Amino acid sequence: MAVTGAGAGSGNGRPAARIPELPTRLAQACRLQALERPPVWLMRQAGRYLPEYRALRERHTLLEICAQPELAVEVTLQPIRRFRPDAAILFADILLPVVPMGVDLEFAAGEGPVLRNGVHEPADVERLKPVDIEDSLAPTLRTLRAVRAELPADIAVIGFAGAPFTLASYLIEGGSTRRFLRTKTFMYRHGAAFDGLMAKLARVTADYLLGQIRSGADAVQLFDSWVGWLSPDDYRDFVLPHTMLVFDAVRETGVPAIHFGVDTGSLLELLRDGGGEVIGLDWRTPLAEGWRRVGYDRGVQGNLDPAALFAPTAEIERRTRAILAEAGGRPGHIFNLGHGVLPETPLDAVQAVIDTVKSWENPE
């Protein structure tokens, strides 16, 4: 594997040295290189809609799968074997790094994540421990190395992490939320402590992504899934500097980064300023409009509505081609959904999307 300096920079923020390998189609798109068709992969392409994933989940919890590289590698590769997308995404969860920070994490059946010992008052921020990624997240880094070794060179391996705001919301809310009221209350009432929390999370996130890059990630995606619940002013004041720190650290490695959030139609320019060679678009913003606002010096990823996969096959194909037409063959488009594959999604719908993109030819 063409990675040098393994171990260097762990925990101290030094960039990972990386010798460029033969770039994958995904990395080429991130670098705005012209391709005969865009790369395609789907967020949450591994998971519950796959019968082979459900079979494994009958015997193991989500956290067990993440902690055992042989299982996590298997789950990462399941959608690749079935659908042949252009990239595999590491099987892990954005919440894994909060465990070594001292937070109890559990995935309760049907409820999503439950976090105890999180952040309820300013003093709790002090309690959060710094993380030695190579040590605490060793199984995940090992999974990434094994996936990279297993896959052919033209299929990219995408590493990922949760962004500081999205992680902070889970720490403060203790789980999923619709209103982010505890998060915003904390942010407005304890501004300095919130900033301290974001700084700690940004450091861990940057170190985690650098660790994944040293372990062979061809690209990384930062999930700021819930940042669309903030106003532009709050994003600028509370989030932007911390997100910039993460992308600045990744940029030094030369490995491209994708910056994703949901419902970010009012924040696209700010997300671009936060960083990332590629900006994720959900289905609420037409791709052509989103790209114009982001600027053509960046790529865009998206943006088929995950619910469109419940339409008849001909309609799925039509909508997939409509997005390809909106991108117009411009270099820098990565085809994806606007958010993750839903658990009830029919398998042949996923195949239809991937096959439609792979058989498309750039009319340019």
Residues 134-193 that bind ligand CP3 (CB under 6 A): 160, 176
Which residue among 40, 80, 94, 281 contacts ligand CP3 (CB under 6 A)?
94
Contact segment (CB under 6 A) with ligand CP3 among 16-24, 29-37, 43-51, 264-272 equals 43-51
Q: Which residues contact 30 (CB under 8 A, 6 or more apart)?
A: 219, 256, 257, 258, 277, 278, 299, 332, 334
Residue (36 or 111) nearer to ligand CP3, CB: 111
- Mode of pairing for the β-strands spanning 219-223 and 104-108: unpaired
Whether 189 sits among the annotated catalytic residues: the reply is no
Whether 44 sits among the annotated catalytic residues: the reply is yes
**62 token code pair:** 């989500």
Contact segment (CB under 6 A) with ligand CP3 among 105-113, 194-202, 264-272, 291-299 equals 105-113
223 forms part of the interface with ligand CP3 (CB under 6 A): yes
Catalytic residue among 14, 31, 82, 93: 93
Residues 301-360 that bind ligand CP3 (CB under 6 A): 340
Tell which residue, 274, 276, 345, 280, has the closest CA to residue 309: 345
Taking the complex as a whole, the smallest distance from the CB of residue 66 to ligand CP3 amounts, in Å, to 8
Whether 57 sits among the annotated catalytic residues: the reply is yes
Determine contact, residues 88/59, Cβ cutoff 8 Å: no
Determine the residue type at 186: F
91 forms part of the interface with ligand CP3 (CB under 6 A): yes
Which residue among 26, 30, 46, 308 contacts ligand CP3 (CB under 6 A)?
46
- Residue 295: which region, alpha, beta or left (left: phi > 0; alpha: psi -120 to 50)? left
Taking the complex as a whole, the smallest distance from the CB of residue 282 to ligand CP3 amounts, in Å, to 10
64-68: list long-range contacts, CB under 8 Å, 24+ apart.
Answer: 65/91, 66/91, 66/92, 66/93, 66/96, 66/139, 66/140, 67/139, 68/139
Contact segment (CB under 6 A) with ligand CP3 among 13-21, 45-53, 116-124, 200-208 equals 45-53
Residue (62 or 197) nearer to ligand CP3, CB: 62
Tell which residue, 285, 287, 282, 357, has the closest CA to residue 316: 357
174-177: list long-range contacts, CB under 8 Å, 24+ apart.
Answer: 174/114, 174/115, 174/116, 174/118, 175/111, 175/112, 175/113, 175/114, 175/115, 176/111, 176/112, 176/113
Q: DSSP characters for 263-294?
A: S-TTTHHHHHHH--SEEE--TTS-HHHHHHHH
CB atoms under 10 Å from CB of 283, counted, come to: 19
Whether 330 sits among the annotated catalytic residues: the reply is no
Taking the complex as a whole, the smallest distance from the CB of residue 53 to ligand CP3 amounts, in Å, to 7
45 forms part of the interface with ligand CP3 (CB under 6 A): yes
Contact segment (CB under 6 A) with ligand CP3 among 8-16, 87-95, 117-125, 209-217 equals 87-95
Catalytic residue among 49, 53, 170, 235: 170
Residue (4 or 266) nearer to ligand CP3, CB: 266
Residue (32 or 218) nearer to ligand CP3, CB: 218
Q: Which residues bind ligand CP3 (CB under 6 A)?
A: 43-48, 57, 62, 89, 91, 93-95, 107, 112-113, 160, 176, 223, 225, 340
Which residues are marked as active site? Answer: 44, 48, 57, 93, 170
